Structure 1
């Protein structure tokens, strides 16, 4: 039994403590990435469970959010209490103005066109004022053509000269019939 205890790896501490110990042991000034941390843990503690990678990722993210670790250029390093916080890319957000307690921010005017008031009196249309020339505004109305028209019967006139609006219908080819020719 003594030989089994010698070959057995030491018990695994909690992941946050383990991660801090690994980063201190590696002692890289640029920090250590997740792969390096994982390989170091596997080399020191032997074969780990299948969920090791998931657990490591979860604890690294949790420690990053709480501020125990700093994530910079894909590397994790211990947070320096004296260092100023690093800014991310892009423009920093505007500072939010806090309102005094009890004051509620009004939404202002609602979006869109306001609904018509059903109780409002209806407006009468404006009386038409004759223009200076005496003609009404806009394009003149189309005058109806007289029946009969210029020389010819009314039936000939309606079928040839008065066409309906739009594109004319497509002319269908007449069906071919076989004609028997007797010689």
Structure 2
């Protein structure tokens, strides 16, 4: 009977205690990752439950959320009370000034353009001041097209040649060319 008790492995403590013991025993200044913690527990206690990796992950997350362990760069380490808190990425937020009790924060102006006053008198249009060059600003107005079309009298041809219509000119047909040449 005495020999049976000597061959028994030590009783398995709770998983949080196993994890903390493993981190202390490994004693790495950057912390220990999950696989190194698991290998240490397996080497020390040998016979573990079937869902060991799942239980280990679950209890590591619980210890991380409660603040007993710190997770940094894929390593778990015990919390050092003297160490400054680690900063995350990016610029830290500005400190907020606390408001006195009973004081309400109100916005100065609402967003957007203010609505027009329906009771305001109508405004007179602004008078244009002449520019220094004597020309009016902006694009010039279109000139009116003369009446008549292409192929009319000679006066009409002169007017249309002086003011060309918009767009690409029409294609000249072969029959029109023969009439002009005089065959």
TM range (shorter): 0.5 to 0.7
Matches within 5 A, 1:24-43: 24-43=24-43
Q: Counterpart in 1 of 2:100?
A: 100
Structure with the largest fraction of helix = 2
Shift of 1:36: 0.8
Q: Counterpart in 1 of 2:47?
A: 46
Instruction: Give the Cα–Cα distance (whole angstroms) in 1 for the partners of residues 132 and 80 of structure 2.
Output: 86
Instruction: Give the Cα–Cα distance (whole angstroms) in 1 for the partners of residues 39 and 17 of structure 2.
Output: 16
Give me the TM-score of the superposition, normalised by structure 1: 0.60
Instruction: Give the Cα–Cα distance (whole angstroms) in 2 for the partners of residues 109 and 9 of structure 1.
Output: 72
Task: Give the number of equivalent residue pairs.
Answer: 165
Instruction: Give the Cα–Cα distance (whole angstroms) in 1 for the partners of residues 98 and 153 of structure 2.
Output: 89
Q: Counterpart in 1 of 2:175?
A: none
Provide closer, same or farther for how the CA distance between residues 49 and 140 of structure 1 changes in structure 2, counting only shifts above 3 A: same
Do the aligned partners of 1:23 and 1:37 also contact (CA within 8 Å) in 2?
A: yes
Q: What residue ranges of structure 1 are gaps of 5+ in the alignment?
A: 171-183
Q: Counterpart in 2 of 1:111?
A: 111
Q: What residue ranges of structure 2 are gaps of 5+ in the alignment?
A: 172-183
Instruction: Give the Cα–Cα distance (whole angstroms) in 1 for the partners of residues 132 and 92 of structure 2.
Output: 64
Provide closer, same or farther for how the CA distance between residues 135 and 67 of structure 1 changes in structure 2, counting only shifts above 3 A: closer
Shift of 1:108: 2.9
Shift of 1:169: 9.0
Alpha carbon RMSD of aligned pairs, Å? 4.4
Q: Counterpart in 1 of 2:71?
A: 71
Instruction: Give the Cα–Cα distance (whole angstroms) in 2 for the partners of residues 21 and 132 of structure 1.
Output: 89
Instruction: Give the Cα–Cα distance (whole angstroms) in 1 for the partners of residues 73 and 106 of structure 2.
Output: 43
